Amino acid sequence: MSNQIGVLAMAYGTPESLEQVEAYYTHIRRGHKPTPELLNDLTERYRRIGGVSPLNEITKKQTEGLERLLNESRDGVTYRVYTGMKHNNPFIEDTVKQMADDGIQKAVGIVLAPHYSSMSVGTYISAAEKGAAEHGTPAFTFVREWHLHPLFLNGLEKRLLAALKQFSDAERENLHVLFTAHSLPERILQLNDPYPNQLTATASALAERIEQKRWSFAWQSAGRTADPWLGPDVLDVLRELKEQGVRNVIISAIGFVADHLEVLYDIDIECQGLAKELGIKLLRTAMFNADADFLQTLASVVREQAKKEGLL
């Protein structure tokens, strides 16, 4: 057998139909069914974006493209890329079992999210480690963050500049760039979790690259729990920007890499609706999805991790 490396690409997952929303939401809530009100609200959000999120299909294209690119590298290695989902089939633990059944001995794990948090990326890694311990294989090395990888920043910069071009010179003089990411419970601050600082680092690097002086960071998509979540919320920030006289805004959702509910509803419908009420021209930067430059980024990150751990 040629030198073979498995790659476990981990993603959040999303229901395949409106009928699956309740089971999906229950899994997110660790087995606790949502109230009818919460379920109806989430179902309606999916309905508003067309009934189904494109995330699963995008993830499939990302992993297929990643495998193709990795196997074009001519580094004497055969790569097999697997997909593991946190909240939907195929679940991470089941995929690790499949990798073990396929005879994968060594593997690189990467979460399709660039910024590390013990409550996000850390939980994906724990699930993979649990599966590997149960089956005795594969031996994993994990990419824990890639928020400042040059290719990642290049891709974000390209999409930011494309959005900027849609504003006139006069509009750019009154333009604010708002970087966003998924909020997490505030208690991560007591854990010295790196998530907020990593997001600020990405935002700062991008603002410097495009020489954007007027920018800030906001959180979005906070969960509906009793715990307080990180703020300020993007909707509150839009209202504050209006009060400051800002009339033109670009949202760059740097915490996400694909179109999904938190982008297509929370930004494209909820934020856009508020912006229209406020008289703000709001544009969102394009997501990476399965674009060629993003696949190159993933391939580079995986290969660098494999090399660092002596797998190549």
Residues 64 and 31 both lie in one domain: yes
In the chain, the percentage of residues whose pLDDT exceeds 70 is 99
Q: What's the Rg (C-alpha) of the chain?
A: 20
CB 143 within 8 A of CB 299: no
Arithmetic mean of pLDDT over the chain? 96
Per DSSP, 114 falls in state S
Domain of 89, CATH number, reads 3.40.50.1400
How remote is the C-alpha of 146 from its chain's centroid?
12
**147-191 residue pLDDT tens:** 999 999 999 999 999 999 999 999 999 999 999 999 999 999 999
Domain range for 176 is 150-284
Question: Looking at the DSSP assignment, which residues form a beta bridge with residue 249?
Answer: 176, 282
**Torsion angle, CA of 117/123/128/129, rounded to 10 degrees?**
90
CB 248 within 8 A of CB 164: no
Q: Give yes or no for residue 193 having a pLDDT over 90.
A: yes
- Residue position matching structure tokens 């498995």: 6
Per DSSP, 18 falls in state G
Residues 39 and 137 both lie in one domain: yes
This prediction's pTM: 0.96
Residues 142 and 155 both lie in one domain: no
Neighbour tally for 98: CB within 10 Å? 17
**Residue 107: which of 77, 147, 75, 65 has the closest Cα?**
77
H or E segment to which residue 43 belongs: helix 36-48
Task: Determine the Cα–Cα distance for residues 4 and 99; give it in Å rounded to an integer.
Answer: 12
Q: Give yes or no for residue 94 having a pLDDT over 90.
A: yes
Residues 242 and 261 both lie in one domain: yes
Task: Determine the Cα–Cα distance for residues 53 and 261; give it in Å rounded to an integer.
Answer: 6
- Secondary structure percentages of the chain, helix, strand, coil, to 5: 50, 15, 35
Quick one: tokens of 312? 């190549």
In the three-class reduction of DSSP (H, G, I as helix; E, B as strand; rest coil), residue 71 is classed as: coil
Please tell me the least confidently modeled range out of 75-79, 148-152, 278-282, 304-308.
Answer: 75-79
Quick one: tokens of 95? 């995929």
Task: Determine the Cα–Cα distance for residues 45 and 101; give it in Å rounded to an integer.
Answer: 38
Q: Give yes or no for residue 146 having a pLDDT over 90.
A: yes
Annotated binding site: 12, 29, 45-46, 53, 124, 182, 262
Question: Looking at the DSSP assignment, which residues form a beta bridge with residue 82?
Answer: 8
Residues 257 and 301 both lie in one domain: no
Residues 209 and 128 both lie in one domain: no
**pLDDT confidence of 2, banded at 50, 70, 90?**
low
**104-142 residue pLDDT tens:** 999 999 999 999 999 999 999 999 999 999 999 999 999
Residues 213 and 101 both lie in one domain: no
Residues 37 and 65 both lie in one domain: yes
**250-279 residue pLDDT tens:** 999 999 999 999 999 999 999 999 999 999
**pLDDT confidence of 1, banded at 50, 70, 90?**
very low
Average pLDDT for residues 298-306, to the nearest whole number? Answer: 97
Task: Determine the Cα–Cα distance for residues 240 and 48; give it in Å rounded to an integer.
Answer: 27
Annotated binding site for Fe-coproporphyrin III: 12, 29, 45-46, 53, 124
Q: Give yes or no for residue 74 having a pLDDT over 90.
A: no
In the chain, the percentage of residues whose pLDDT exceeds 90 is 96
Residue 201 half-sphere exposure toward CB, CA atoms < 13 A: 15
How remote is the C-alpha of 116 from its chain's centroid?
11
Quick one: tokens of 217? 């960071």
Residues 24 and 94 both lie in one domain: yes
Task: Determine the Cα–Cα distance for residues 83 and 102; give it in Å rounded to an integer.
Answer: 14
Annotated binding site for Fe(2+): 182, 262
**8-42 residue pLDDT tens:** 999 999 999 999 999 999 999 999 999 999 999 99
Residues 62 and 191 both lie in one domain: no
Q: Give yes or no for residue 100 having a pLDDT over 80.
A: yes
Neighbour tally for 144: CB within 10 Å? 15
Helix axes 150-164, 195-209, angle to 10 degrees: 60
Question: How many domains does one find in the chain?
Answer: 2
Residues 9 and 138 both lie in one domain: yes
Neighbour tally for 170: CB within 10 Å? 9
User: At 160, which amino acid appears?
Assistant: L
**Which residues have C-beta within 8 Å of that of residue 26, sequence separation ≥ 6?**
32, 33, 34
Quick one: tokens of 199? 């997001």
Average pLDDT for residues 183-201, to the nearest whole number? Answer: 97
Residues 73 and 159 both lie in one domain: no
